[in-house]
Structure 1
Amino acid sequence: MVSHLYLGVVILAIFASTVTYADIDVVCEKDSVKIKWKISAELVPFAARLFLGSCMVSHLNVLPTGEGEAQFDYTFAECKFKKLIKGKHIKYQNELTYRPQAKTKPASFVYPIECVQKRPETWIPPFLNPGSGVSAGRGGLVIHMSLLNEQLTGVAETNVIPLGSFMPIWAAVEQKSHQPLLLLMEQCVAASTPELQPGSQVYPIINNKGCLLESKRGNSMFLPRYHSSAIILYLQSFKFNLGEEIDHCYVLLRCTFTVSWLYGILRFSMRARKPAIM
């Protein structure tokens, strides 16, 4: 087995020695290059190991003498050409190589290819070329709002709240395929009527874009978030004076939400009817 290994190395060395800089003809055109590479008869069976950058031979002609003519015909956008702009010229650079071994091994033969063109007078560097674009989309956001149970593990089974106890009010916006969303309570009032009228009696809970007034009058608070798209208002039930003696009343909570993400802000209004014993 060792003798076969040495034999392989000798064969590769012989083939590598037959490759020379002679007989390589390069024709540079406006957007492409044409190369003719005359190779010895020993290299003809190994023409697949000839490369222009990352491109293989375009066409191989076997001459009557047994020699070969490897042709490369590619544009500068192919074969991993390097584009360099220097002064008033544009250079396209690459390498013509012979690789008898895998591409991970160094090439046995390297011939530099360079095509130089005069830079157009109207050429502008990319970083000075102004650009603009418009991105548009259409979709909807779904916001949920519910009263949670005392353990905050699910929706409350009853919406009768004793005076002084807490009402965990949960709200969340569905993420779906949106970028990470942030849900905020911007305003929240309590009312005794489904629709707010000029003469409706309201009780402000949150105003001034998120200021929780009930945290000043009582023990209400926002609980720590488990996700930016959800919020829990831990609201202590309060006495809603309607000017008459009743055992209990229905209170409607009307809230305005702000949903923000990287590209803008959307505002939504929601209301939830929650009875509380006053």
Structure 2
Amino acid sequence: MMAFSRQCVLFFCLLDAFSVYADMRLDCRPDFVTLVWTESRIHVDPSLLRLGSCFPTSVTAMEAVFSVDLNDCNFDRLVTGDQMIYTNDLTYISSHESFSHPVVCVYDRPKDWFPLIYDPVFNTHGEAGLVFHAGLMNDDFSGPAVSNTFPLGSSIPVMASVEEATHQPLLLLLEECLAADTPQLVPESNVYTVIGNKGCLVDSRVSRSRFEPRIKSSEIKVSLQAFRFALGKEVFIHCKLLAWDPMGLDNTKKACHYVKDHGWELLDNPAYSNLCDCCDSSCKSRKARSIGSGELGLRHKAVIGPLTITET
């Protein structure tokens, strides 16, 4: 992004009550923005904060950090006179509380900047430019797995991601994952459903399997408890991936896991866990909708493995 000659300015208006319990720091650089929200109220979960369409880059119990490009997160750009202004909203939605605050960065308008006659808008549902990845990871998801052998009951870390290229930010979901004893799904394959019913981690009903907290909307991590399926043999996990609009979750586009003594919980916002109510029955769209080629372009099939599950 072109260089700017003036420091950014933050227009941020807090109510008195919020100024006591929370603090926000914004650093607007020529190419990216860093926003840090520090929260002292124990009932406020920083992981539920969103900067436009972006999830926090990192989260702790009291703090959410966003480090994002100005071209991401649905920032609005306004060019007026000698200024270039980027605006967005920091939002929080939960069953206990909701709030929104404006975030504004102001720069000097570059002398060599002129508006384009045509500024293309990239379609979220386009096929071009999406690259999907899926594989076994090490225990902390920092790199690929060093072994593909897992003792029964141990954790099998799996991560999938999508490179968004020219697309606006997308939310990656796992619609279905089937463990099979063959590298291709054929009628003779023995299968075990890990994720089904449009994003329900059904294995979490009977195990410690769970989705891990999201760091980036374009990634999804799941820790599977090694299951008693095809013990000692090669196992392949066949998954259907879906890259979708982060604001378009419904009961057919979601990531849900079962929490003991609590019930089904929505990964991306537990306040809307009612989207998971169908996980014990059948998850179907409330409205009939046609599936065009553009929507199909956001889907991808991946095979993870082989891996071997052994007796403890």
Work out which structure has the larger RCO, using CA pairs closer than 8 Å and 6 or more positions apart in sequence: 2
Shorter-chain TM-score bucket reads 0.3 to 0.5
TM-score by length of 2: 0.42
Decide which structure has the larger Cα Rg and report it.
1
